Amino acid sequence: MTFILNEDLIDYNLKKKINIYKIITIAIVLIISIILIKFKPAYAVTLGEEEIGYIGNRTEFQEEIDNNILNTNKENIAFVALDNVSYSFEFVDRSLINEEKVMDKVKENAQNIYFVYEVSSGNDENAVYVNSLEEAKSLVETLKKNYSEVEDDLKITTLYLENQISEEEIKEAKAKISQSLDAKLEEKKQRDKRTVNGIYLASLPLTGGTISSRYGSVEGVRDHVHGGLDLAASYGTPIKAVADGVVKTAGKTGGYGNLVVIDHGNGVETYYGHCSSINVTVGTEVKAGETIAKVGSTGNSTGNHLHFEIRINGSSVNPQKYIY
Ligand SMILES: [Zn+2]
């Protein structure tokens, strides 16, 4: 009897236990179901330092970044700058997963970096920036062709910029460099014109003054062909050295009156005659534009003027070939 009773008791306890397990299992299943309905395995996406949202499929998401954002074939893009994208696995509320929104944030962060080409030269401070190497090369060719006399150091530098250069900016820069090189060309022409046997006449012998007798004329009191250029100016007007040199003569002479002769080297000498006074002595080193004497009417002269003469290896040449 006791035995049977005991067996019943065991059976009863077992059944009770099994029921508890069933309830627990059902409860767990219910809880998991609820969790799975509301939550989903996902990836939190971090861009740089900032978490920007949740996505479901990491592989697809990264492929889209690689193919559509980073691997662009757009012309002249050097590369795309993008902060580091990282993923971490999480269970999140389904409603938080929004791949489109996260992708938009990645797109916003992506910065195209363009190739920009700088055309510049050592002879000019202006530079032109263009968007393609072909355009840069063509510009160099044009500038070389048009400005070969003043431009020999053109170079192309590749730069990486966040923006391309607008047509308007290119046009403006081209105009600016052309203008600048035109001015240099003109300056060089002037300089070449004012260069006597390699000696550049940086200064005029007088400020103001008017031509009263030209080189080669035979007129008035003269019994010989005029070997210089006469510049009428008021008494005391400063007379300037036309180029750097060393004073060779400084003093009273016959026909020239008070005369200064400057030796500029290369066989080039300049004469300044009829001076009222002289500021230099033989051996004085003078700079172009430096006052060496003052206008007067000494020697064979009928009025205040400067007799200016240029000689190359002892022979006078027409000063107006170089100045005035
Ligand atoms: Zn004269």
DSSP assignment of 105-154: HHHHH-EEEEEEEEEEETTEEEEEEES-HHHHHHHHHHHHHH-TTT---E
Considering the chain, what is the average pLDDT of its residues? 92
- Residue 247 alpha carbon to ligand 1 centre in Å: 20
Q: Are 277 and 293 in contact (CB under 8 A)?
A: yes
Angstrom CA distances, 215 to 105, 275, 310, stand at 82, 19, 10
Q: How far is the CA of 94 from the centre of ligand 1 (A)?
A: 104
Domain boundary among 158, 193, 228: 193
- pTM of the predicted protein model: 0.65
Ligand 1 centroid from CA 283, angstroms: 25
User: How many angstroms separate the alpha carbon of residue 213 from the centre of ligand 1?
Assistant: 7
User: In terms of domains, do 157 and 208 share one?
Assistant: no
Name the residue with tokens 């080193």. Answer: 285
Q: Is-contact 140 101, C-beta < 8 A? A: no
One domain, residues 180 and 248: no
Q: Dihedrals φ, ψ of 194, to 5°?
A: -90, 15
- The amino acid present at 319, given as its one-letter code, is P
- In this structure, are 4 and 99 located in the same domain? yes
Q: What is the number of domains present in the chain?
A: 3
Percent of the chain with pLDDT over 90: 77
Residue 190 CA to residue 182 CA, distance in Å, equals 12
5 pLDDT tier (thresholds 50, 70, 90)? low
In this structure, are 43 and 120 located in the same domain? Answer: no
Higher pLDDT: 37 or 228? It is: 228
Please, is 174 exposed, middle or buried when counting C-beta atoms within 10 Å of its C-beta (0-12, 13-18, 19+)? middle
Q: Are 69 and 111 contacting, i.e. CB atoms less than 8 angstroms apart? A: no
Cα distance between residue 282 and residue 261, in whole Å:
9
Residue 78 region, left (φ>0) first, then alpha (ψ -120 to 50), else beta?
A: alpha
CA–CA separation, 217 vs 235, rounded Å? 24
Do 67 and 123 fall into the same domain?
no
**Same domain membership, residue 166 and residue 65:** no
What pLDDT sits at residue 221?
Answer: 57
Q: How far is the CA of 260 from the centre of ligand 1 (A)?
A: 14
Kindly tell me if the per-residue pLDDT of 222 is higher than 60.
Answer: no
Helices (H), 39-122: 58-64, 99-109
What residues pair up with 260 in beta bridges, in sequence order?
250, 272
Which residues form the domain of 247? 199-321
Same domain, 146 and 220: no
* Whether residue 216 sits in one domain with residue 137: no
What is the CA(197)–ligand 1 centre distance, in A?
22
CATH assignment at residue 297:
2.70.70.10
Confidence of residue 88 (pLDDT cuts 50, 70, 90): very high
- Closest C-alpha among 232, 245, 250 to residue 293: 250
| Residues 220, 168 within the same domain | no
Model confidence at 179, in pLDDT bands (50, 70, 90)? very high
pLDDT for 218 equals 74
Does 298 lie in the same domain as 225? yes
Distance 211 CA to ligand 1 centre (A): 10
Residues 313 and 266 reside in one and the same domain: yes
Q: Looking at residue 159, what DSSP letter applies?
A: E
pLDDT, one tens digit per residue, over 97-124 is 999 999 999 999 999 999 999 999 877 7
Residue 47 has pLDDT above 60, yes or no: yes
CA-based nearest residue to 191, from 179, 183, 180, 200: 200
pLDDT, residue 16, reads 82
Tell whether the model's pLDDT for residue 151 goes beyond 90: no
Instruction: Give the end of a domain, one of 193, 225, 260.
Output: 193
The pLDDT of 121-149, averaged and rounded, is: 91
Write down which residue in 131, 161, 193 finishes a domain: 193
| Predicted local confidence at residue 36, as pLDDT | 83
The full DSSP string for 211-251 is EEE-TT---TT-SS---SEEEE--TT-EEE-SSSEEEEEEE
Residues β-bridged to residue 211: 231
Same domain, 93 and 150: no
